[in-house]
Amino acid sequence: MPSYKNNSECKGWPKDVGIIAIEVYFPSEYVDQGELETFDGVSKGKYTVGLGQTKMGFSSDLEDINSLCLTALSHLMERTGVGYENIGRLEVGTETIVDKSKSVKSVLMQLFEDSGNTDVEGIDTTNACYGGTAALINAVNWVESSSWDGRYAVVVAGDIAVYAKGAARPTGGAGAVAMLIGPHAPLVLESGLRSSHMCHVYDFYKPDLSSEYPVVDGKLSIQCYLSALDACYRTFSRKANARKDSAASPMSLEEMDALLFHSPFCKLVQKSVGRLAFNDFLNASVEEVPRTYHGLEAFRDKKLEDTYFDKDVEKAFLSYSQDIFLKKTKPSLLLATQVGNMYTPSLYGGLASFISNNTGESLAGKRVLLFSYGSGLAATMFSLRITDDVGPGSRLSELVSSLSDLHSRLNSRTEVQPHVFAETMKLREETHHKAPYTPVGKVESLFPGTWYLTQIDEAHRRQYKRRPLISINNASSVSSSSSNLVKESEFMSTDLLPQDV
């Protein structure tokens, strides 16, 4: 195991700052999306093919945002062996608000008590699904700044994504991701290339503080997501091109080995790959079009802003980008299709999925493009360069091995019938913000090592306990042999491919 103890070897300005370790937590129970189609009385294939979703993770009243983040952070610290005294900044990204004043970060400080370390900067950041990315940017900026004191930063992104009954409900999910940030990282954030797009819209928002449910304008949210993708890619490409010499080919998807997206539902991600290919097509030179985009010439006069719901453009570029999607994006959709939209952790669940479906050797030296979107809206595109140091004991090989149990952990969950899921949603509705309150969910149904809510007292103070941990290190040593792999058919419906759209 490589030493994560401190950064004392780091003399001078920190180099290669980025993500060193990732821990993913998702609930132990799920509902099958095919079963949900039948239960909801919608046409067969609407959730599984139309949205590209396979299973949806959800939590009972035993779990809230604090418990999800306590679990993810505890697991990260145990798996890496980094002492709490070695953390100088802790950032939380979430849109699951249980208190308008007290941060989730301050709740997480309970875990630091034994170490005596209270010198930990950072608090919570909120803007829909974007909070995790804002937290990551803050953490990386801190390590790269004159404020850095040589210790690690940690980013925790967590959410419970639940919707009222209706069309949006199958796009829910829940989970948390914790990431260790520092120098000499195996996943380095490329500097100077980040592009953002932020503006004021009401596509998805949560104005009713007494409810967990958002107000959603589904169609507008998709338009906003795609327009933010276009805007971020345009600015990212401009910045990337400015660094090249004039003879070099302009930025295109060609130069990225993987394309990762915030995933509200997998079908939108597949459409997003097509959308980026459409951007490349519109940017291509007159000479290149017949060479690379033979048969698509008729779309040359189309404008991005007129085509968010243009089915001809969508179909043509879904078909054109099918191989790109299968190679560069589909491996990142494991958690997105199996757990659902985790909101702030979604993109980082995508990164963990991508890593878990690769080996150190296949990742070494690769470049990854990531798109983060939060309604309201805030969006950023950025890129990671993966180290080529993949030797035994390297941080990259440790990262890959720590995520090799993802498939077996997904397979070890318990399936719950849709009516039980619906009753759980009703219970959450009725008890959200109730005080005093004692949760009624079954502790035995949680994974070992999971933190859970035991009590909310009359003053709304929340108390937590942890299920005994078997051993996260044993869990991590589970190899991803084929018997542990999530079956290809359950990974994501192949009906998603363009010919079936």
Catalytic site positions:
95, 129, 262
Total of chain residues touching ligand HMG, rule CB under 6 A: 28
* Identity at 184, one-letter amino acid code: H
* Token pair recorded at residue 312: 């001809």
Shortest distance, position 127 Cβ to ligand HMG, whole Å: 8
Binding mask 59-98 for ligand HMG (x = CB under 6 A): ------------------------------------x---
Answer for the pair 138, 179: CB distance below 8 angstroms, yes or no. Answer: no
Near ligand HMG in 156-185, by CB under 6 A: 167-168, 171
Query: Does the footprint of ligand HMG cover residue 371 (CB under 6 A)?
Result: no
Rounded to 5°, the CA angle 136-156-173 comes to 110
Q: What are phi and psi of 100, to 5 degrees?
A: -80, -10
Binding mask 430-469 for ligand HMG (x = CB under 6 A): ----------------------------------------
Residue nearest to ligand HMG (CB): 50
Residue 74: name the closest of 352, 484, 464 by CA.
464
Residue 111: name the closest of 21, 29, 178, 63 by CA.
178
Query: Does the footprint of ligand HMG cover residue 34 (CB under 6 A)?
Result: no
Shortest distance, position 286 Cβ to ligand HMG, whole Å: 31
Shortest distance, position 61 Cβ to ligand HMG, whole Å: 22
User: Residues 213, 373, 447, 452: which binds ligand HMG (CB under 6 A)?
Assistant: 373
Near ligand HMG in 104-143, by CB under 6 A: 128-129
Instruction: Give the span between the Cα atoms of 79 and 472, in whole angstroms.
Output: 7
Query: Does the footprint of ligand HMG cover residue 228 (CB under 6 A)?
Result: no
User: Residues 225, 233, 278, 452: which binds ligand HMG (CB under 6 A)?
Assistant: 225
CA distance readout (Å), 467 to 62, 464, 476, 480: 12, 10, 18, 25
Cβ-Cβ contacts under 8 Å for 266 (sequence gap 6 or more)? 51, 52, 53, 333, 336, 337, 492, 496
SS3 state of residue 205? strand
Shortest distance, position 345 Cβ to ligand HMG, whole Å: 11
Q: Which is nearer to ligand HMG, 260 or 390 (CB)?
A: 260
Residue 349: name the closest of 132, 146, 202, 182 by CA.
132
* Identity at 462, one-letter amino acid code: R
* Binding stretches for ligand HMG (CB under 6 A): 43-46, 49-51, 95, 128-129, 167-168, 171, 204, 216, 218, 221-222, 225, 262, 264-265, 268, 341, 343, 373-375
